[in-house]
């Protein structure tokens, strides 16, 4: 056990912030299957507001409604469907959720349940933090990004004034329910994006997790990480545990701006913006991981062997290490806003082996020539 994060049993992790303030993460397959009672055991007696993203409503709306109504009767909950794209991730949609909560007279001990990707869980997490000055919420993430990040952390945010996640809260769900069967309908590209975040964590923190991803590569995508493949279950649980441990080190992000989980998140914003989001977040993270690792190799921090292992894992998971729109000038310009955000520090996370990392803290530790050389190294691999 590290930082009060531990497995209570095979399918339940607890993150104990205090003896009364606890976040539980439940792993259960086919959670809305009528024969599955796992989720119901954790549901409060009180009334609940169930919010589904538009996509989840289309794919799973009926089974979700039947699940709740058969257990709790029609009156015990209200269902709300919200369209969940980045452009709807705003205060208006938060207001929609709060309005539905008001109409059903949701009280402090009632719960908002969010079922959807990171956009949906972020909107609902924030709505639950502000409605009636805070009611509990439950997140049921339906994407791999949700499993390993948005659905299990304590941050919630919506876009405001053109800035991503500009308004939000630190408030953890009382429960996260992780059902890998949702991944069966997820687009392969979205799945790869989630894998990029798993590779990020494994590289800086967990050699065992890295080996598991390395051994399976694209099979994880093709199998949609289903339970019959023991490795997938292992990877999901190990990733959740690792993320919670690392987040707890600096839970309100005030101790330090040097965070291992920022690996892959220094160059990626410029890559997303300059490609007009043609490159998705997780894809940009994979490219950033490759660039940061090439810098580490150039500096002699990462060995050649580990560098090529890392590049191999990215490629085997079907992710790119470069994009034609990327050049050193564009990446260099993008660093200004990152440095401003990190309080004048660069804090570029670079791998120092597999399962370990170090930081280039001072902006002076990186120069444009080094960046160009790193890109050259990756181009050589890509063209080989």
Ligand X SMILES: NC(=O)c1ccc[n+]([C@@H]2O[C@H](COP(=O)([O-])OP(=O)(O)OC[C@H]3O[C@@H](n4cnc5c(N)ncnc54)[C@H](O)[C@@H]3O)[C@@H](O)[C@H]2O)c1
**Cα distance between residue 380 and residue 265, in whole Å:** 23
**Cα distance between residue 111 and residue 106, in whole Å:** 8
CB of 189 to ligand X, least distance (A): 9
Q: Give, as one character, the DSSP assignment of residue 195.
A: H
Q: Which stretch binds ligand X (CB under 6 A): 32-40, 91-99, 148-156, 262-270?
A: 148-156
**Cα distance between residue 69 and residue 32, in whole Å:** 11
Which of 55, 57, 77, 180 contacts ligand X by CB under 6 A?
A: 55
Does 128 contact ligand X by CB under 6 A? Answer: no
CB of 248 to ligand X, least distance (A): 14
Does 263 contact ligand X by CB under 6 A? Answer: no
Which of 77, 123, 153, 243 contacts ligand X by CB under 6 A?
A: 153
Does 262 contact ligand X by CB under 6 A? Answer: no
Alpha-carbon torsion (99, 105, 108, 114), positive or negative? negative
Report whether 287 contacts 322 (CB < 8 A). yes
Place of tokens 């630190």: 170
Which of 128, 156, 266, 274 contacts ligand X by CB under 6 A?
A: 156
Tokens found for residue 156: 């919630």
CB of 315 to ligand X, least distance (A): 21
Nearer to ligand X by Cβ, of 282 and 307: the residue is 282
Nearer to ligand X by Cβ, of 32 and 267: the residue is 32
Which of 110, 128, 143, 216 contacts ligand X by CB under 6 A?
A: 143
Report whether 46 contacts 74 (CB < 8 A). no
Helix pair angle (368-383, 281-298), 10° resolution:
110
Does 33 contact ligand X by CB under 6 A? Answer: no
Place of tokens 């082996």: 353
CB of 252 to ligand X, least distance (A): 13
**Cα distance between residue 120 and residue 278, in whole Å:** 21
Nearer to ligand X by Cβ, of 22 and 59: the residue is 59
CB of 330 to ligand X, least distance (A): 22
Which of 13, 97, 150, 220 contacts ligand X by CB under 6 A?
A: 150
Cβ count within 10 A of residue 300 = 8
Q: Which helix (H) or strand (E) holds 308?
A: helix 304-316
Which of 53, 174, 270, 358 contacts ligand X by CB under 6 A?
A: 53
Site string for ligand X, 157-186 (x = CB under 6 A): --------x----------------x--xx
From the centroid of its chain, how far is CA 180? 15
Report the Cα–Cα distance between both ends of the chain, in Å, rounded: 44
Q: Which stretch binds ligand X (CB under 6 A): 17-25, 117-125, 323-331, 364-372?
A: 117-125
How far is the CA of 297 from the CAs of 79, 206, 207, 259, in angstroms? 52, 19, 18, 20
In total, the chain counts a number of residues equal to: 384
Q: Could you tell me which of 287, 183, 187, 284 has the C-alpha nearest to residue 235?
A: 183
CB of 154 to ligand X, least distance (A): 8
Tokens found for residue 249: 């080190």
**Residue ranges with strand state E in 41-110:** 48-53, 77-82
CB of 84 to ligand X, least distance (A): 6
Report whether 287 contacts 320 (CB < 8 A). yes
Nearer to ligand X by Cβ, of 52 and 331: the residue is 52
Tokens found for residue 337: 């806003």
Does 291 contact ligand X by CB under 6 A? Answer: no
Nearer to ligand X by Cβ, of 124 and 301: the residue is 124
CB of 91 to ligand X, least distance (A): 14
Does 136 contact ligand X by CB under 6 A? Answer: no
Which residues sit at the interface with ligand X, rule CB under 6 A? Answer: 53, 55-56, 59, 84, 86, 89, 116-120, 122, 142-143, 145-146, 149-150, 153, 155-156, 165, 182, 185-186, 190
């Amino acid at each position: 056990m590290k930082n009060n994060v531990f497995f209570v049993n095979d399918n339940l992790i607890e993150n104990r912030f205090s003896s009364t303030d606890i976040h539980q993460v439940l792993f259960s397959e086919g959670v809305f299957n009528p024969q599955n009672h796992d989720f119901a055991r954790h549901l409060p007696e009180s009334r609940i507001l169930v919010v589904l993203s538009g996509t989840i409503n289309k794919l799973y709306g009926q089974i979700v409604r039947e699940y709740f109504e058969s257990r709790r009767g029609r009156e015990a909950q209200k269902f709300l469907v919200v369209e969940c794209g980045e452009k709807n991730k705003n205060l208006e949609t938060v207001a929609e959720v709060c309005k539905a909560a008001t109409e059903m007279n949701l009280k402090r001990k009632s719960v908002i349940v969010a079922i959807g990707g990171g956009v949906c869980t972020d909107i609902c997490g924030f709505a639950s933090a502000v409605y009636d000055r805070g009611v509990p919420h439950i997140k049921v993430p339906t994407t791999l990004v949700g499993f390993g990040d948005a659905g299990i952390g304590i941050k919630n945010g919506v876009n405001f004034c053109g800035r991503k996640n500009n308004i939000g809260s630190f408030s953890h769900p009382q429960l996260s329910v992780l059902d890998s069967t949702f991944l069966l309908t997820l687009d392969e590209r979205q799945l790869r994006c989630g894998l990029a975040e798993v590779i990020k964590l494994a590289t800086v923190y967990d050699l065992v997790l890295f080996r598991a991803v390395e051994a399976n590569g694209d099979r994880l995508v093709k199998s949609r990480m289903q339970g019959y493949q023991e490795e997938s279950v292992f990877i999901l649980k190990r990733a959740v545990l690792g993320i919670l441990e690392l987040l707890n080190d600096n839970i309100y992000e005030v101790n330090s701006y040097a965070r291992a989980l920022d690996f892959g998140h220094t160059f990626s914003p410029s890559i997303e913006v300059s490609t007009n989001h043609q490159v998705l977040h997780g894809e940009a993270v994979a490219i950033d991981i490759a660039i940061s690792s090439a810098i580490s190799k150039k500096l002699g921090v990462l060995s050649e062997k580990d560098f090529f292992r890392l590049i191999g894992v990215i490629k085997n998971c079907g992710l790119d290490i470069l994009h034609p729109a990327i050049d050193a000038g564009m990446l260099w310009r993008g660093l200004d806003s990152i440095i401003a955000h990190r309080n004048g520090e660069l804090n570029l996370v670079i791998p120092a082996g597999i399962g370990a990392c170090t930081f280039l803290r001072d902006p002076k530790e990186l120069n444009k020539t080094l960046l160009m050389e790193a890109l050259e190294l990756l181009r050589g691999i890509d063209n080989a």
